[in-house]
Chain A
Amino acid sequence: MSSAPEPLHRALGLTDSELDEIRSVLRRDPNPLELALYGVMWSEHCSYKSSRIHLKRLPTEAPHVLVGPGENAGVIDAGDGIAVAIRIESHNHPSAIEPYQGAATGVGGILRDVFTMGARPLALMDPLFFGELTDARQRWLVEGVVSGISGYGNSVGVPTIGGELTFDECYSSNPLVNVLCAGALPTDRLVLGIASGVGNLAVLLGSSTGRDGIGGVSVLASAGFSGEDGAESLDDAKRPSVQVGDPYEEKRLIEACLELLDRGLVVGIQDLGGAGLVCATSETAARGGVGMDVDITAVPLREEGMQPFEIMTSESQERMLAIITPEHWPTVAQLCAKWEVRASVVGHVVEPSVDAEGEPFGMLRIRRGFDGEILAEVPASSLADEAPLYDRPRRRPESLDAVHADDPTNDEPEGSPNEDLLDLLIDPAWVYRQYDSQLFLNTVVGPGRDAALLRLAGPGLPISERGIALSTDSNPRWCALDPRVGTALTVAESVANLACVGATAKAVVNCLNFGNPEHPEVMWQLSESIDGMTEACNGLGLPVIGGNVSLYNESGGNDIDPTPVVGLLGVVDSLIAPPPGWAWNEGDSLVLVGTRTAAGEVPFPLGGSRWATRRGRRGGNVPPFDATTLVPTIAFVTKEIAAICAGSRSDVTAVHDVGAGGLATALAEMAASTGIGVEVAQLTGHGELFAEFPGRFAMATSNVDAFIARAVVAGVPVVALGTVGGSSLKIGTAIDLKVGDIENRRRHALEDALTSTD
Chain B
Amino acid sequence: MTRIGVVVFPGSNCEYDALAAVTALGAQADFIWHSETSITDFDGVILPGGFAHGDYLRPGALARFSPVMEAVANFAKEGGPVLGICNGFQVLTEAGLLPGALQKNRGLTFICEPTTLIVESTRSVLTRGATKGQELVIPINHFSGAYTCDDETLRSLEENDQIALRYRENPNGSVGDIAGVSNVAGNVVGLMPHPERAMSTLLGSADGRVLLDGFVFAPALAR
Whether A247 touches B54, Cβ cut-off 8 Å, given contacts A252-B11, A339-B10, is yes
Residues of A within 8 A of B20 (CB): 441
Among candidates B11, B17, B196, B204, residue contacting A251 with C-beta atoms closer than 8 Å: B11
* Cβ of B158 under 8 Å from chain A: no
* Cβ of B14 under 8 Å from chain A: yes
Query: Is the pair B202, A576 in contact by a Cβ cutoff of 8 Å?
Result: yes
Complex alpha-carbon distance, A240 and B203, angstroms: 43
* Cβ of B50 under 8 Å from chain A: yes
* Cβ of B109 under 8 Å from chain A: yes
Residues of B within 8 A of A247 (CB): 51, 54
Stretch at the interface among A147-155, A202-210, A602-610, A655-663: A147-155
* Cβ of B130 under 8 Å from chain A: no
Chain A interface residue count, Cβ-Cβ cutoff 8 angstroms? 36
Residues of A within 8 A of B111 (CB): 433-434
Complex alpha-carbon distance, A251 and B15, angstroms: 13
Query: Is the pair B203, A434 in contact by a Cβ cutoff of 8 Å?
Result: no
Complex alpha-carbon distance, A255 and B20, angstroms: 18
The chain A residue sitting closest to B194, CB to CB, is: A438
Which of A246, A338, A436, A578 has the most CB atoms of chain B within a 10 A radius of its CB?
A436
Residues of A within 8 A of B204 (CB): 578
Query: Is the pair A441, B197 in contact by a Cβ cutoff of 8 Å?
Result: yes
Complex alpha-carbon distance, A160 and B54, angstroms: 19
Among candidates B33, B53, B109, B197, residue contacting A248 with C-beta atoms closer than 8 Å: B53
Complex alpha-carbon distance, A575 and B200, angstroms: 13
Chain B interface residue count, Cβ-Cβ cutoff 8 angstroms? 32
Query: Is the pair B10, A251 in contact by a Cβ cutoff of 8 Å?
Result: yes
Complex alpha-carbon distance, A48 and B82, angstroms: 54
Residues of B within 8 A of A246 (CB): 54
B18 CB → nearest A CB, Å: 10
A519 CB → nearest B CB, Å: 40
B58 CB → nearest A CB, Å: 14
Interface residue ranges of B85-115 to A (CB < 8 Å): 109-113
Residues of B within 8 A of A306 (CB): none
Main secondary structure of the interface of B (DSSP, over half): mixed
- Hey, what's the 0/1 contact readout for B126-154 against A, CB within 8 Å counting as 1? 00000000000001010100000000000
* Cβ of B55 under 8 Å from chain A: yes
* Cβ of B65 under 8 Å from chain A: no
Residues of B within 8 A of A432 (CB): 112
Query: Is the pair A433, B10 in contact by a Cβ cutoff of 8 Å?
Result: no
Query: Is the pair A150, B110 in contact by a Cβ cutoff of 8 Å?
Result: yes
Whether A459 touches B16, Cβ cut-off 8 Å, given contacts A434-B110, A438-B112, A443-B203, is yes
* Cβ of B211 under 8 Å from chain A: no
Complex alpha-carbon distance, A436 and B110, angstroms: 8
* Cβ of B13 under 8 Å from chain A: yes
Query: Is the pair B203, A438 in contact by a Cβ cutoff of 8 Å?
Result: yes
Query: Is the pair A578, B202 in contact by a Cβ cutoff of 8 Å?
Result: yes
Whether A444 touches B203, Cβ cut-off 8 Å, given contacts A339-B10, A435-B112, A459-B16, is yes
Complex alpha-carbon distance, A368 and B10, angstroms: 35
* Cβ of A157 under 8 Å from chain B: yes
- Hey, what's the 0/1 contact readout for B18-58 against A, CB within 8 Å counting as 1? 00110000000000010000000000000000110111100
* Cβ of B199 under 8 Å from chain A: yes
Among candidates B14, B16, B50, B109, residue contacting A147 with C-beta atoms closer than 8 Å: B109
Residues of A within 8 A of B13 (CB): 156-157, 251, 439
Interface residue ranges of B172-223 to A (CB < 8 Å): 194, 196-197, 199-204
Complex alpha-carbon distance, A150 and B112, angstroms: 10
Complex alpha-carbon distance, A432 and B139, angstroms: 14
The chain A residue sitting closest to B16, CB to CB, is: A459
Query: Is the pair B112, A441 in contact by a Cβ cutoff of 8 Å?
Result: no
Query: Is the pair A438, B202 in contact by a Cβ cutoff of 8 Å?
Result: no
* Cβ of A211 under 8 Å from chain B: no
Among candidates B11, B17, B21, B201, residue contacting A439 with C-beta atoms closer than 8 Å: B17
Complex alpha-carbon distance, A338 and B201, angstroms: 37
Residues of A within 8 A of B197 (CB): 438, 441
Whether A439 touches B14, Cβ cut-off 8 Å, given contacts A251-B51, A433-B113, A434-B110, is yes
Query: Is the pair A248, B56 in contact by a Cβ cutoff of 8 Å?
Result: yes
Interface positions of B (Cβ within 8 A of A): 10-11, 13-14, 16-17, 20-21, 33, 50-51, 53-56, 109-113, 139, 141, 143, 194, 196-197, 199-204
11 contacts across the A-B interface (CB closer than 8 A): A147-B109, A157-B50, A251-B10, A252-B11, A339-B10, A433-B109, A433-B110, A433-B111, A441-B17, A441-B20, A441-B196
